[in-house]
Amino acid sequence: MLATPPTNPSAHTPAARSPTARSTGSSSLTRAQDYVADVLTPTVRLGVTGLSRSGKTVLITGLVETLTNRSADPSYARLAGIPGLRAYLEPQPDDDVPRFQYEEHSSALAGTPPAWPESTRRISQLRLTLEWESSETWRQWLGMPARLHVDIVDYPGEWLIDLAMMGQSFAEWSEAALTLARSPALSPHARPFLQFLADVGATAAADEQVAIAGASLFTSYLAEARRRAPAEAALGPGRFLLPGDLEGSPQLTFFPLGDAARAAEQPRTLASLLARRYDSYRANVVEPFFRAHFARLDRQIVLVDALGALNGGAEALANLERGLAGVLAAFRPGRQSWLSFITPRRVGRIVFAATKADHVHRSSHPRLQAILEKAVARAARRASTAGAGVRCIALAALRATEDVEKVTGSETYRCVRGIPLPGQAVAGRAFDGRKPAVVFPGDLPADPLDAFEPTSARPEHYNFVRFMPPERSVQPWSAGGAARVWPHVGLDEIITFLLGDHLP
């Protein structure tokens, strides 16, 4: 492979020496070689996003674990063919971004019993370096392997929702947010907040305590709507749900107000105070995130709970589609969009992954993928963007089940077997987190369009059960010793699609 120039300034940062750094020769020669190697090492910034609990933490842990332990050898055919390929973690380039806690997450999953790791709550980053024997003569002569830095950036999908705010005034945002809060699906969760609004009135005097009380009720509504109606439209502002390091900050003390346009014009009203806070949130929270992190991404993985949406029926799928259109608008901004001014380069390749595909039998994965492809294609039309460089896949970043077929009379049921998490229940049977169970999740529609059709018959019996993480067997894959097998569906495809053009 030809060495490509670094794609961002961080590629010039001298990184820690690789494990294969030469130990012989004069130290100044070695330092010079390391410096040259760093300057010549391209960097790919890979964003991983998706709404809360969509599987980001498990996915990143799986990517790092399988690549560094080589424990996925049997399935990584593309990578297995690269001579001398190895992967290792290096100090991350950005000192102001928290490190992704890979070691903690990995040991939670390797525990007895294994436990799912703690989910993403803020932005974090990890640098993974891939290294292989170069076929270029000059590299061989200098004893310099080919390398690629992959900077993985994990950030909550909730923060992407805020992009829409950049084009909205406080009055416009208020109107849209209140229309949603009053919709039949969400109003039951918004009742205390809507009651509060009715009591307050937009022209009330600016009062910090009222702002705090209203913001708190608005936040509770967002959290409740997310918990009780997760398949409904993704609601923002994103930091109200996942504040990251803004926990308790006054920047989060605003809420939508009826009649805001007129009242915000008048000084010292509640509306003018909230409009100021809204503007400050956009300027000090939303814009810096897009400039500092989002605008620097080269590749992106978007995790999608397509099974959850499928379970919610056509309306939930329509909401998913709206969410995807928003995501596509962020990654493929039109020329006139605010984002296109701050993103000098665009994300080249995007993977949309329907996560937790192991909740259904392997034979359903092509159907799941087809439904996601339809949703993304429809979303692309809605957002008037091209779907170029986009791939949809069915993904289980860590497969917690195995496929089982049960024959009853003339019927064959395609089931999955795993240990359901304690508290999960199917048909009145509660599970204790210890015993395995065979679950028939239901058959996904053969024609993906059926899933989007409100009038088409929907099986009311989807049983998507959450499972314990698997006990992983230990296998002597690598020459360096035994490694735990990391069972998965689709991790290899993600790596090949996103990084393939940088590999030999």
List the interface residues with ligand GDP, window 239-278 (CB under 6 A).
none
- Position among 226, 356, 365, 484 found at the interface with ligand GDP (CB under 6 A): 356
- Position among 42, 47, 53, 214 found at the interface with ligand GDP (CB under 6 A): 53
- Position among 30, 119, 216, 337 found at the interface with ligand GDP (CB under 6 A): 119
**Judged by CB under 6 A, does residue 492 bind ligand GDP?**
no
Contact 467, 401 (CB under 8 A): yes
- Position among 11, 37, 58, 177 found at the interface with ligand GDP (CB under 6 A): 58
Which letter does DSSP use for residue 204 in this model?
S
Q: How far is the CB of 105 from ligand GDP (least distance, A)?
A: 8
116 or 193, CB closer to ligand GDP?
116
**Judged by CB under 6 A, does residue 153 bind ligand GDP?**
no
Nearest in space to 364 (alpha carbons), one of 441, 288, 311: 441
Q: How far is the CB of 420 from ligand GDP (least distance, A)?
A: 10
Structure tokens at 478: 């690598």
**Judged by CB under 6 A, does residue 52 bind ligand GDP?**
yes
C-beta neighbour count of 227 within 10 angstroms:
9
- Position among 94, 162, 358, 373 found at the interface with ligand GDP (CB under 6 A): 358
Instruction: Categorise residue 92: left if φ over 0, alpha if ψ from -120 to 50, beta otherwise.
Output: beta
150 or 400, CB closer to ligand GDP?
400
Peptide bond into 504 cis (omega under 30): no
The count of residues interacting with ligand GDP (CB under 6 A) is 21
372: exposed, middle or buried (C-beta count within 10 Å: 0-12, 13-18, 19+)? buried
118 or 315, CB closer to ligand GDP?
118
128 or 211, CB closer to ligand GDP?
128
Nearest in space to 256 (alpha carbons), one of 164, 323, 180, 185: 180
Rounded Cα distance between 157 and 313, Å, is 22
- Position among 50, 244, 308, 387 found at the interface with ligand GDP (CB under 6 A): 50
**Judged by CB under 6 A, does residue 467 bind ligand GDP?**
yes
Q: What is the DSSP string of 433-485?
A: SSS-EEE---PPPSSHHHHH-TTS---TT-----BPPPPPPEEEEETTEEEE-
Percentage helix, strand, coil, to 5, in the chain? 45, 15, 40
Which letter does DSSP use for residue 116 in this model?
P
Residue with tokens 């039951």: 188
Helix 56-69 to helix 491-499 angle (10° resolution) is: 80
Contact 327, 238 (CB under 8 A): no
Q: Considering only 7-15, 20-28, 72-80, 391-399, which stretch makes contact with ligand GDP by CB under 6 A? A: 391-399
Coil, helix or strand for 51? coil
**In degrees to the nearest 10, what's the CA dihedral of 354, 355, 360, 362?**
70
Which letter does DSSP use for residue 70 in this model?
-
356 or 378, CB closer to ligand GDP?
356
Q: Considering only 4-12, 51-59, 130-138, 222-230, which stretch makes contact with ligand GDP by CB under 6 A? A: 51-59
Q: Considering only 165-173, 262-270, 356-364, 440-448, which stretch makes contact with ligand GDP by CB under 6 A? A: 356-364
Please give the radius of gyration of the chain, using alpha carbons only, rounded to the nearest integer.
Answer: 25
Q: How far is the CB of 289 from ligand GDP (least distance, A)?
A: 17
**Judged by CB under 6 A, does residue 311 bind ligand GDP?**
no
**Judged by CB under 6 A, does residue 397 bind ligand GDP?**
yes
Q: How far is the CB of 466 from ligand GDP (least distance, A)?
A: 5
Residue 299 phi/psi, 5-degree rounding, is: -135, 160
Contact 456, 450 (CB under 8 A): yes
149 or 356, CB closer to ligand GDP?
356
Structure tokens at 27: 């130290």
**Judged by CB under 6 A, does residue 56 bind ligand GDP?**
yes
Report the amino acid identity of residue 373. Answer: E
**Judged by CB under 6 A, does residue 72 bind ligand GDP?**
no
According to the 3-state scheme, what is the secondary structure of 187-247? Answer: HHHHHHHHHHHHHHCCCCECCHHHHHHHHHHHHHHHHHHHHHCCCCCCCCCHHHHCCHHHC
**Judged by CB under 6 A, does residue 396 bind ligand GDP?**
yes
Beta strand extents in 360-408 (DSSP E only): 390-394, 402-408
285 or 395, CB closer to ligand GDP?
395
Nearest in space to 8 (alpha carbons), one of 293, 407, 321, 396: 293
Q: How far is the CB of 300 from ligand GDP (least distance, A)?
A: 14
**Judged by CB under 6 A, does residue 55 bind ligand GDP?**
yes
Q: How far is the CB of 402 from ligand GDP (least distance, A)?
A: 12
Q: Considering only 73-81, 256-264, 335-343, 393-401, which stretch makes contact with ligand GDP by CB under 6 A? A: 393-401
Q: How far is the CB of 104 from ligand GDP (least distance, A)?
A: 12
- Position among 164, 466, 478, 496 found at the interface with ligand GDP (CB under 6 A): 466
Q: Considering only 10-18, 47-55, 168-176, 286-294, which stretch makes contact with ligand GDP by CB under 6 A? A: 47-55
Q: Which residues bind ligand GDP (CB under 6 A)?
A: 50, 52-58, 116, 119-120, 355-356, 358-359, 396-398, 400, 466-467
